[in-house]
Amino acid sequence: MSMSLIAAQLLNGLQLGILLFLMSAGLTLVMGIMNFANLAHGSLYMIGAYIAAALHAMTGSFVVSAILAVAGTLVVGYLLERLLLSRLYGVEDLYQVLATFGLILVFNQTVKIIWGQAPVFMSTPEFLSGTVTLFGLSYPSYRFAIIVAGLLVGLGLYLAINRTRVGMWIRAGASDREMIAALGVNIRLVNTLVFAIGAALAGFAGVMAGPILSIQPGMGEPILVLVLVVIVTGGIGSIRGAFYGALVVGIVDTIGRAFLPAIMRALLDPEIARGAGPAVASILIYVFMATVLALKPNGLFPAKYR
């Protein structure tokens, strides 16, 4: 296999990692601050993708529909938190897991009612339909744009969290909730804010993924499982953990799927390898997660100090 193929797959892995990071950033903070486990986070990603696709078909402008879709998921996230999920703060994990599990069913069915069962497609915006050349490697502009946009958002988040007062509250809330309450900060308000922004980021990830995936009901669950892997291995409540975790998971998963079957064919009986290759590739990240948790039960970058 050639170096350029490896490089292209590395970029694909990076691109998946960036999407995972956008998804994980908000969710890990909500889990850190309110100890809240939100399985319906993947649905926000799906909603972002659907809204963008619908608006794109209507307006023809990718930028406008992206902005409106992100705003839309922000509103959905805000309402969700205020009307339903905030009632579940402080109850056992079990009920949070269950209620948000129920929400997944509702959201999936709702988009099915509105947009139908069949996949919806969203075209790549005109100005990003070509390729870019990086170090002699030609790579689709749109995928490259995902990486750049994701890194910019990540940088913005980093600055917002490390350089602003609200960011300080958020960091403090994720590591020690009692302390921040003692400082007189309205932790509920901080959390609503974090939740809504987290929803918007998930929506943004959905928008960005829209043109490279088929948009369909239930598209949020496979990525949600990856996001949860990222959060738990990175350390619940840790943005840094989410960033590194997302990159590792994105790259390991992509590279594994791309090359492991071929490697196994070379080493094993081809008949066995053909079946087992993709399976082992899919399993890689779970092996990674189980290993991390077995060695460091609180994840790679635990946010809580006990």
Partner 1 sequence: MNTNMLSRMRLSNCVALVLIAAFAVAPLVAHGIGQPFYIVLISRIMIFAIAAIGVNLALGYVGMVSLGHALYIGIGAYAVAISLHSGLANGWAHLLIALAAGGVIAVPIGLVCLRTSGFGFVMITLAFSQMFFYLAVGLRQYGGDEGMPLPSRSAFFPLDAANATTFYYMAFFVLMLVLLLLHRLIHARFGMVIRGCKLNEARMRALGFSTLRHKLVAYVISAEICVLAGVLLANLTRFATPSYLEWIMSGDLVVMTVLGGAGTLIGPLVGATVWVVLEELLASFYIDLPWNLSEFIRSNWTAVLGIVIIVVTLTLKKGLYGFLVARDGGVR
Q: Which residues bind partner 1 (CB under 8 A)?
A: 31, 35, 37, 84, 87-88, 91, 93-95, 97-99, 101-106, 108-110, 112-113, 221, 225, 228-229, 231-232, 236, 274-280, 282-283, 286-287, 289-290, 293-294, 297-299
The helix (run of H) or strand (run of E) holding residue 134 is: strand 131-134
The helix (run of H) or strand (run of E) holding residue 42 is: helix 41-59
Residue 36 CB, nearest distance to partner 1 (Å)? 9
Give CA–CA dist 141/211, Å, rounded: 12
Residue holding tokens 């490390």? 162
Strand blocks (E) in 190-244: none
Q: Which is nearer to partner 1, 59 or 282 (CB)?
A: 282
Q: Which is nearer to partner 1, 105 or 118 (CB)?
A: 105
Is the dihedral angle over the CA atoms 76, 196, 293, 280 positive or is it negative?
positive
Residue 25 CB, nearest distance to partner 1 (Å)? 17
Read off the tokens for 133. 């050349």
Q: Which is nearer to partner 1, 102 or 156 (CB)?
A: 102
Give the DSSP letter string of 150-186.
HHHHHHHHHHHHHHSHHHHHHHHHHH-HHHHHHTT--
Q: Which is nearer to partner 1, 38 or 73 (CB)?
A: 38
Q: Which is nearer to partner 1, 97 or 132 (CB)?
A: 97
Residue holding tokens 């492991």? 260
Read off the tokens for 185. 């900060």
The answer for 90, left when phi > 0, alpha when psi is -120 to 50, beta otherwise, is left
Phi then psi dihedrals of residue 137, to 5 deg: -110, 130
Residue 117 CB, nearest distance to partner 1 (Å)? 10
CB 120, CB 209: distance < 8 Å: no
Give Cα 270 distance to the centre of its chain: 35
Residue 216 CB, nearest distance to partner 1 (Å)? 15
Residue 37 CB, nearest distance to partner 1 (Å)? 5
Residue 278 CB, nearest distance to partner 1 (Å)? 6
Q: Which is nearer to partner 1, 3 or 83 (CB)?
A: 83
Q: Which is nearer to partner 1, 107 or 204 (CB)?
A: 107
Residue 237 CB, nearest distance to partner 1 (Å)? 11
C-alpha to C-alpha distances, 17 to 21, 150, 252, nearest whole angstrom: 6, 9, 9
Give CA–CA dist 48/42, Å, rounded: 10
Q: Which is nearer to partner 1, 20 or 70 (CB)?
A: 20
Give CA–CA dist 15/11, Å, rounded: 6
Give CA–CA dist 194/34, Å, rounded: 10
Residue 111 CB, nearest distance to partner 1 (Å)? 10
